[in-house]
Chains A and B, each alone.
Chain A
Amino acid sequence: MEFREGIPGPAAIGRPFPGSPEPAAGGRDGQPGLGHHAAFAALGETSFANYVAATQPHLLPGRMFDAPRGPEGRPMTPDALGVPHGTTIVALQFAEGVVIAGDRRATAGNVIAQRDIEKIFITDSHSAVGIAGSAGIAIEMIRLYSVELEHYEKIEGVAMSLDGKANRLAGMIRGNLGAAMQGFVVVPLFAGYDTEEPDPAKAGRIVTYDPTGGRYDEWLGYHAVGSGSVFAKSSMKKLHRTSADLQTTLRNALEALYDAADDDTATGGPDLVRRIYPVVVSITGPEGAVRRSDEEVAGIVDRIVADRAENPGG
């Protein structure tokens, strides 16, 4: 009898104690998954990603990835497949926390794959992740990551530490290395608020990653990933100070995205015709992670555009 959820019965995770004999495949009486050895009854495991890996590995993003092969037998590149690509994400630390923002464009080669894609995800009450790179895998990875954080919080009764969150994301990117080697790279940018840190000016944190899962804390107060990141970083280097307040930081983030879109073809600027604006999330101690309303973002963008009309260099 197949268990309803499709859990394939006793797996390594389902052993009640280390060293205890592994139950016979198929479980007792041919009822896998219903006894005490069922994977969901395993002891001490708090990671949802590990649970999925042990029970439904096919659901993991990028796992056992084998890119389709072209006519000559070589693996096809993401561009040849027409896979959408996310572009520019910026994160800025400021006096009360951290702001993370991203443009709305996804590209596939020279084509705009989507105009209003959302690449910033609020992953729990005090963290958010922006994604650049192969959009499909990245979105799936962040979906898993959000459940991972919530799962831990529910089982443990307390939220994961900020460094724990940053490390879990590193582990997931490392799991995608096989796909990354074939060009399906995911490069997230993590922004979080450390609720254990008493000083709000130091509580906002930015963490970046490389495709092998390397984790790098950014202590200089700003960072960007994606194709337009060079221009965005130059913009923030000149504009942003970590002593800034929330309103100034929101404006700096949108200025940086404007500059990225100005010089990078793959980054989308604010679409005034369709009223599509960047997604901006602020994370502060009292409010946690909040997506700024479209009205608020539109107001700031309109002022930036008006200022740029007078001086295109900003």
Chain B
Amino acid sequence: MTMPFYSSVDQLLRDRSELARKGISRGRSVVVMTFSGGVLFVAENHSTALNKVSEIYDRIGFAAVGRYNEFEGLRTAGIRLADSRGFSYDRRDVTSRWLANTYAQFIGAAFVEQQKPYEAEICLAEVGETPDGDQLYRITYDGSITDEPQYVVMGGTTEPISAKLKDVYDGGHDLGEALASALEGLQVPGSGPGNGTEARVLGEKALEVAVLDRSRPGRAFRRITGPVLRNLLPAANRGEAADEPNVRGGDDAPAAGGVLPENGTTGGSGKPPSLN
């Protein structure tokens, strides 16, 4: 029997963190923010079928970045847990705080126990009766959980987007204004895959938009698509989406990014990278 090489716990966790961080930063970004009418989700997503944003329960929504297969499993698990609790207790007993804690434990356990951590980061949002009751929880790949009072930016290159949102965010915005400020953030130079330095324009087809609508009784989650979305977008965004730079990266990157260089700019040949 062969003995595995010794590696310290510290080293193991650091390696896993690095793997997860790389995987998450390769994708496209998602912004979740509160506004006067509820909670707004804006994801840069070129797929119409594979969603990053989803309904979990009456007042709770979910957004995720990273590897689709992994956060899809997390999303399904959340819906199961929420429905299960709502069925055995009552609908009002399903809270985002409880669910976020459960996610944090689950993801945290996977981080220390599994070979490979989740390359995913999620945001759980709950819309309250009043703006004071809105809650946003960010849960990262290692099970860390934070609650953010105003907005959450995840995936891709978050720093320039966060910096921009700090300037333009206002909790009193209506839906159109909130969407415009979220787009200002997502389009900021340096935010796209490949870290292009020019500002981009994200059109209807490149966006996945949804809200938790405070005024809706019962299930508050509503996707905004088609003509409704087009009318809400700022005039500059109503045309076609800007061309995607030809980069290997984004949401379709292989597991652990293959062994591509850090910046992921080798042109997307689709061939498995060679190990030597």
Contact = CB atoms under 8 A, between A and B. Distances in A.
The judgment on whether A and B are partners is yes
Interface of A: 4-5, 7, 28-29, 31, 34-36, 38-41, 43, 48, 51-52, 55-56, 59, 143-144, 147, 150-151, 154-155, 157
A252 B102 CA distance: 51
Contacts of A51: 80, 84
B109 A35 contact: yes
Given A52-B87, A155-B79, A34 B73 contact: no
Contact of A56 (B84, B106, B109): B84
A7 B102 CA distance: 13
B197 to A, nearest CB: 36
B83 A41 contact: no
B76 A5 contact: no
Contact of B114 (A5, A31, A36): A36
Given A35-B109, A151-B80, A157-B51, 8 more contacts: A5-B84, A29-B113, A35-B113, A40-B84, A52-B84, A59-B87, A154-B54, A154-B55
A150 B83 contact: yes
- Chain A contact residues: over half helix, strand or loop, or mixed? helix
Interface residues of B, number: 24
B85 interface: yes
Given A59-B87, A150-B83, A154-B56, A41 B109 contact: no
Interface string B81-109: 10111111000000000000010011001
Contacts of B145: none
Contact of A59 (B51, B81, B88, B113): B88
B77 interface: yes
A155 B72 CA distance: 9
Contact of B87 (A7, A39, A147, A157): A147
Contacts of B114: 35-36
B81 A40 contact: yes
B9 to A, nearest CB: 15
| A34, A40, A55, A157 — most chain B CB neighbours (10 Å) | A40
